[in-house]
A and B are shown apart, each in its own frame.
Chain A
Amino acid sequence: NAGVMQNPRHLVRRRGQEARLRCSPMKGHSHVYWYRQLPEEGLKFMVYLQKENIIDESGMPKERFSAEFPKEGPSILRIQQVVRGDSAAYFCASSPPRQGNYGYTFGSGTRLTVV
């Protein structure tokens, strides 16, 4: 049973380019969460999605950031016109529909570097 798969593991983009981060949840998990982690800081909630629905995007910056979780395929976090401040580790996590006593399973993250 594969865990949460994120790719790419590392991504380098020039300022102004677009970054696309992909996340495939664990088998049987229909809920996906995206978090951002700046160096030496904690995980900041960005968005929570179910298949074809955004449930909570209260942590998403108002501009340039979007997320989707289509019926087929992975969840995508898209950052348009990247700036240096977007450099961070982006973690995806998944969980089954019911609340459990283990929270999330995290992917290995995508480390975005904007040059």
Chain B
Amino acid sequence: GQNIDQPTEMTATEGAIVQINCTYQTSGFNGLFWYQQHAGEAPTFLSYNVLDGLEEKGRFSSFLSRSKGYSYLLLKELQMKDSASYLCAVRVAGGYNKLIFGAGTRLAVHP
């Protein structure tokens, strides 16, 4: 079976740092993705991890531990525009590009 867990909601203050966790149990693993989705809009790609460790991209970083089935997305210097849902997705093995998504974490950034 496929199971991807994320917290439902988080709140943070403008300028702060927030970490959004994701745990997964899937039949096969071939990469983990984070997407951002603003209300009423399409998801947009943020980051990709396939090997253990940290990937940094500007204010956003993503970490993966395959042995623990665990990832996190780290957002630094939070801005109001970062208020959105953050979706964790696993690409299952099998030779093609199918992604299984978690339910998403709604992040509210307050002044």
Residues of A within 8 A of B (CB): 31, 33, 35, 41-45, 48, 55-56, 91, 95, 99-109
Contact = CB atoms under 8 A, between A and B. Distances in A.
A45 B43 contact: no
Contacts of A55: 96
Nearest to A50: B96
Interface string B3-44: 000000000000000000000000000110101000001111
Given A42-B101, A42-B103, A102 B45 contact: yes
Contact of A101 (B42, B48, B87, B102): B48
B78 interface: no
B99 A107 contact: no
Interface residue SS majority, chain A: strand
B104 to A, nearest CB: 5
Contact of B42 (A42, A56, A106): A106
Interface of B: 30-31, 33, 35, 41-45, 48, 50, 87, 89, 91, 96-104
Contacts, number: 61
Given A31-B96, A99-B96, A109-B42, 17 more contacts: A33-B98, A35-B101, A41-B104, A42-B101, A42-B102, A43-B89, A44-B101, A45-B98, A48-B96, A56-B96, A95-B97, A100-B97, A101-B48, A103-B31, A104-B97, A104-B99, A106-B43
A103 B101 contact: no
A106 B44 contact: yes
A114 to B, nearest CB: 18
A45 B31 contact: no
Given A91-B43, A101-B48, A106-B44, A45 B100 contact: yes
A43 B43 contact: yes
Contact of A48 (B35, B98, B104): B98
Contacts of A33: 97-99
